[in-house]
């Protein structure tokens, strides 16, 4: 695939979505639980599972990297669980898929394990896909390992990295990118 990399499209100095496309995110694969369903055991979850060139099912893929030890990560996850349970927000019906990768366990710098992910899903009552990325094996190239949570929005039609950054992000932060995808054709690479 062309244009693989780490560059985001982002927002220009005037507050508008930049005209230069971001890079295409590589098809990273993880072990995790689709829709936080632990009953089937750990499964391979690939970013390509959400690739939708027509945009019929998925429009925006929102990636989150969190660690068990990270207070803002815990707060952001609780806010997301609350937002996703609110029928008025209905992100799934709008075509947004949330995928959260747990990188660290209870101790910063110690890779998350299956038990950490199991406990995370249970304690936060998550319903969205949750995966392991111990020690940032896949997504670590995008940010400093201590700077979590990390959030990114991808255009599901092309896997273009629209936006990415560290720090707590309100779930509503996905809406401008959802609007942008609805109003713009997919980037040509």
Pairwise CA distance, residues 101 & 131, whole Å: 5
Instruction: Tell me, yes or no, whether 23 lies in a domain.
Output: no
Interatomic CA distance for residues 154 and 164, integer angstroms:
9
pLDDT mean over 49-73: 97
Q: What percent of the chain has pLDDT over 90?
A: 87
Chain centroid to Cα 2, Å, comes to 21
Average pLDDT over residues 184-188: 93
Between residues 88 and 21, the one the model is more confident about = 21
Q: Is 1 part of a structural domain of the chain?
A: no
User: How does residue 56 score in pLDDT terms, banded at 50, 70 and 90?
Assistant: very high
CATH label of the domain that carries residue 161: 3.40.30.10
pLDDT at 154: 98
Sign of the four-CA dihedral 4, 143, 123, 83 = negative
Does 95 reside within a domain? Answer: yes
Number of domains forming the structure of the chain: 1
Burial of 71 (0-12, 13-18, 19+ CB in 10 A): exposed
Residue 72's domain spans which residues?
44-167
Is the pLDDT at 1 greater than 70? The verdict is no
The rounded distance, in Å, linking the Cα atoms of 5 and 23 is 5
User: Looking at the domain assignment, is residue 13 inside a domain?
Assistant: no
Provide mean pLDDT across the span 144-149. Answer: 89
Percent of the chain's residues with pLDDT above 70: 99
Answer whether residue 94 shows pLDDT above 70: yes
Q: Where does the pLDDT of residue 25 fall: very low under 50, low under 70, confident under 90, or very high at 90 and above? A: very high
β-pairing, 60-67 vs 29-33, is unpaired
2 lies in some domain: no
For residues 136 and 28, the answer to whether their CB atoms sit within 8 Å is: no
Judge whether residue 78 has pLDDT over 80: yes
Q: Is 62 within the bounds of a domain?
A: yes
Residue 58 lies in a domain: yes
Give the pLDDT score at 16.
87
Mean pLDDT of the chain: 95
pLDDT at 77: 98
Per-residue pLDDT for 2 more than 80?
no
pLDDT of 111-144, one tens digit each?
Answer: 999 999 999 999 999 999 999 999 999 999 999 8
Output DSSP code: residue 31: E
pTM for the full predicted model: 0.95
For residue 180, being part of any structural domain is answered with: no
Q: How far is CA 76 from CA 48, 79, 149, 167, in A?
A: 25, 5, 8, 9
């Amino acid at each position: 695939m062309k244009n693989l990399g780490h560059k985001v499209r982002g927002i220009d100095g005037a507050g508008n979505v930049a005209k230069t496309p971001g890079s295409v995110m590589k098809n990273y694969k993880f072990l995790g639980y689709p829709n936080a369903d632990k009953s089937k055991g750990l499964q391979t979850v690939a970013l390509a599972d959400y690739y939708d060139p027509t945009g019929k099912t998925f429009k925006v893929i929102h990636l989150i990297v969190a660690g068990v030890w990270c207070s803002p990560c815990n707060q952001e996850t609780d806010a997301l669980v609350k937002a996703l349970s609110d029928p008025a927000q209905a992100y799934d019906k709008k075509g947004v898929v949330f995928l959260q990768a747990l990188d660290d366990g209870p101790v910063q710098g110690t890779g998350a394990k299956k038990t950490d992910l199991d406990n995370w899903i249970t304690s936060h009552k998550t319903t969205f896909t949750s995966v392991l990325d111990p020690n940032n094996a896949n997504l670590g190239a995008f940010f400093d390992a201590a700077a979590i949570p990390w959030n990114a929005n991808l255009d599901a039609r092309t896997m273009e990295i629209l936006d990415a950054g560290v720090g707590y992000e309100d779930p509503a932060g996905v809406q401008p990118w959802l609007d942008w995808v609805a109003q713009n054709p997919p980037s040509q690479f």
